[in-house]
Structure 1
């Protein structure tokens, strides 16, 4: 489970309207019949139009400055193992989203009119998407890039030969292109992975747009607060502030597990990924205490995440922590960032 929370920013200022972001989320509906579309939903309804979402979110930013985010984007990406646990991808993810947003509000260390923040105090809309495409920043695209550049160069030469501005063999270059296509390190269904290609397998995920202001348009609720949970004196009164990110990410996993009866492996937990980066010795000690079958699954999950597992493991735990985990921490850096707030 990877969750990101990001403010929508354009250049030095934050977006003044949610229109572009909402339009982006409508991309999968293009060309589909009405009954096949995925609609925006929230805690109380299932079919909101893009226009309704934009109007509601944009009209809920009273007194916010240009350099303050008007809304946040939460992206929830279950793993393929978590998705396999679902019976009906769309309906199950809607159910989970509504429970997740209860965890979201409970992670605020804030009060509204003397009471804790509740689900009724926030304004959000969510949308389920079932496809992902390869982006330029993906490892597969970056590592295929040298081959892509050579192929493009050869194709340009072929066009020059066919137009008469260059001499040479088209057939020879076509053979070189075919060879490069096969040699590219990352393939999918027998084809070189290129930018924009849909990713294979189940790719269902959740996009949530949540207003910075509460539903009454009076109080600011920022998940990007640098304060975890504290109190400060304002105008002679003690005021609670902050958003507990760790609490939110941890509860998000537990809510999924409880909702769908999912048996989460140690290596899949947010706490484990966090310990891997900050306390590798603690992570390793916990890993080695796992039952044999769970340990095997943990190592499998680590390999699938792209963490470079060393072929030989030193028997001395301190030596392992130094020689292995310092190296592995770099491999998990991207994954850990995916489970943190992107501010």
Structure 2
């Protein structure tokens, strides 16, 4: 499971979401299929790109967002091929999982004392889309070793989810029309920023961990130690003591006789 906050695509997150939304339409443009992949939200399965742009952009208007602040955030959740095999070819299950993951995202926000703000997914303005293709980049080992070319499609099941979420809580009337903006100009909602430098207000580690655990619970997935976020993160970024803590937690969770820890492999920690 790879979960990350994505870097802006060909622009920044400080302006309109139109460029990102149009970028996420790329598979619809290139596909020979007559069935388009729609965006979906907390309570709807078919949302067109114009609605996404309007609602994300309008929700940020008159919210006193500074010019150097992001107006929205982009999250990517990419299950492994083993995890995708567990749920089968069912987009409904991926949507169910995404909605649960966004409950984790919403509930992860705390005040400066570290107390939960009680935010729920329905209090946010967010949209998501399932994509089916991934391409090799210059950062992939296969490209560096000459086994694949940059831009080449990756083989196998590559389904993953892109999420766009507004910086601000949704206004009481989520579907904001341009004509209503003037009336709502004084209505301010809380800014919810998953800043990596503010672990008390929002812990990305806790969000990644909760998303992984949600998948396991929803689909009864038996996750191996070396597939876990904590383990991969300790191997990639942690210190020796971080790695030892992960191993200790696993020893406490699983009896040694039933534990089958394989040799560490590359589980595509990066996206």
So what's the TM-score if we normalise by structure 1? Answer: 0.64
User: Tell me, what secondary structure is at the counterpart of 1:72?
Assistant: strand
- Give runs of aligned pairs for residues 18-167 of structure 1, distance below 5 A: 18-32=17-31, 36-61=35-60, 62-110=63-111, 116-144=118-146
CA RMSD of aligned residues (A): 2.7
Distance 1:10 1:84, change over 3 A: closer
Structure 1: stretches of 5+ with no match in the other structure: 145-185, 187-192, 230-241, 307-334, 339-343
Which residue number corresponds to residue 303 of structure 1? 265
User: 1:29, 1:37 within 8 Å by CA — same for their partners in 2?
Assistant: yes
- Whole-Å Cα distance in 2 between the matches of residues 303 and 34 of structure 1? 36
* Equivalent position to 1:197, from 152, 157, 178: 152
Q: How does 1:273-284 map to 2 (within 5 A)?
A: 273-276=232-235, 277-278=238-239, 279-283=242-246
| TM-score after normalising by structure 2 | 0.80
Q: 2:216 aligns with which of 246, 257, 279?
A: 257
Is the CA contact 1:110–1:117 (under 8 Å) kept in the aligned structure 2? no
8 Å CA contact 1:73, 1:207 repeated in 2 = yes
Report the alpha carbon displacement of residue 34 of structure 1 after superposing the two structures with TM: 7.4
Superposed displacement of residue 116, structure 1: 1.4
Q: Give ranges in structure 2 of 5+ residues lacking alignment.
A: 172-187
Poorly superposed stretches of 4+, deviation over 6 Å? 286-290
More helix by share: 1
Q: How does 1:165-314 map to 2 (within 5 A)?
A: 186=147, 193-216=148-171, 218-224=189-195, 226-229=197-200, 242-276=201-235, 277-278=238-239, 279-283=242-246, 291=256, 294-296=259-261, 298-299=262-263, 302-305=264-267
Aligned length: 244
Kept in 2: contact 1:130–1:203 (CA 8 A):
yes
* Structure of larger gyration radius: 1
